[in-house]
Amino acid sequence: MFENQQLDALPQHQQIVYKSLADKALLHAQLNWLLFYIPLMVVLAVICFFNQAFAAFAQTPLLIALPIILVISLAYNVVSIRLKGIAIREHDIAYRKGVIWQQVTILPFSRVQHTEIHRGPLERKMGLASLRLYSAGGMSADLNISGLSHDDCKNIRQFIQKYIERGQAVNNASTQTDDHPLAPGESLNG
């Protein structure tokens, strides 16, 4: 019999205790930004060197704007990494991110189709990894958590796989009992 009880008090997601990202997550984020800005600055310097008209027009704004943008980006990374967090609970994973627009994503393990651990060259050097969780029917990751230690990624992945295996075992057991209905005149007691 289906029942649909009304809830008087809803569970609060604000009560979730989040674990910070890995210690080197901030350094990784800062290096990624620098790996973007340094080549950009070199390209602009080369353009200014070979194109005197562009240099005369853009040199002062570039000398002022680029360092300011770089400092703001690096400061933003500090705040962003400190606000990110992950919580592994009994039946789901919660991920919090965002500085101005904060987002909390809660993904039940029962919806996870498969997981991936991604490690770029910089992440490998720093012992970091990104965990990607996919649910059924999606081509892109439903949850992508970067800045975790490689060991944390492997442990979370193993926990989720065991959870999924337990769920499949329960489903298989209930399917097997459903596949063998009682014959006419047969009782549960034998």
Per-residue pLDDT of the chain (190 residues; tens, 9 = 90+): 667 777 777 767 668 899 999 999 999 999 998 898 889 888 888 888 888 888 888 888 888 888 898 899 999 999 999 999 999 999 999 999 999 999 999 999 988 988 999 999 999 999 999 999 998 776 777 899 999 999 999 999 999 999 988 887 777 777 665 555 555 555 555 4
| pLDDT (0 to 100) of residue 125 | 96
For the domain with range 86-178, which CATH number is right: 3.30.230, 2.30.29, 1.10.3720, 3.30.70?
2.30.29
Task: Give the Cα separation of 135 and 137 in Å (integer).
Answer: 6
Measuring CA to CA, how many Å separate 143 from each of 8, 95, 106, 151? 30, 8, 9, 18
Specify whether the CB–CB gap between 130 and 117 falls below 8 A.
yes
Residues 188 and 190: their CA atoms lie apart, in Å, by: 5
pLDDT number for residue 189: 53
**DSSP summary character for residue 185:** T
